[in-house]
Amino acid sequence: MSLIDAAAAVRLNAHAPYSGFKVGAAILSQEGRVHLGCNVENVAYPQGTCAEAGAIAAMIAAGDRRIAAVAVIADCPAPVPPCGGCRQKLSEFAAPEVVVTMATTAGALLSMTVAELLPGAFDAGFMVHAEKGAL
């Protein structure tokens, strides 16, 4: 099964009663396994989580550590882009050249790298002068 097909399948499990917008995400880890996530909304709206965040949590919980490829899918007019927060979350575990394939349920595809999705990313390299234990 392709990564997009895996994302499409898990999308059907999304809990999205408030937005009505179901999203599925699949991550292929460098370790070679596929990890899945869907959006999980909450009546306290800010407590909801994105599909990408769920897939990342599944990857980490399974013991894998690095992202090799990502697929995200939703039913929308153009391939669904990860939100800003998820771009930062993906960049924690993915090299800049990792490809994120965005899709619609109708079959449209768009591929961009993590660096293209999050130019100028904040990463640990900016923290080399940080004061350790300053609190």
> Residues in the site for ligand THU, rule: CB under 6 A?
16, 19, 21, 23, 39, 41, 48, 50-52, 72, 80, 82-83, 86
Concatenated DSSP letters of 27-73: EEETTS-EEEEE-B--SSGGG-B-HHHHHHHHHHHHT---EEEEEEE
Number of H helices, E strands in the chain: 4, 5
Closest to ligand THU by CB, 20 or 63: 20
Task: In angstroms, give the least distance from the CB of 4 to ligand THU.
Answer: 14
Residue 51 to residue 124: CA distance in whole angstroms: 25
Task: In angstroms, give the least distance from the CB of 52 to ligand THU.
Answer: 6
Closest to ligand THU by CB, 34 or 100: 100
52 is catalytic: yes
Check 31, 52, 92, 97 and give the catalytic one. 52
**Residue 41 CB coordination number (10 Å):** 19
Closest to ligand THU by CB, 15 or 66: 15
Task: In angstroms, give the least distance from the CB of 31 to ligand THU.
Answer: 24
Residues known to be catalytic: 52
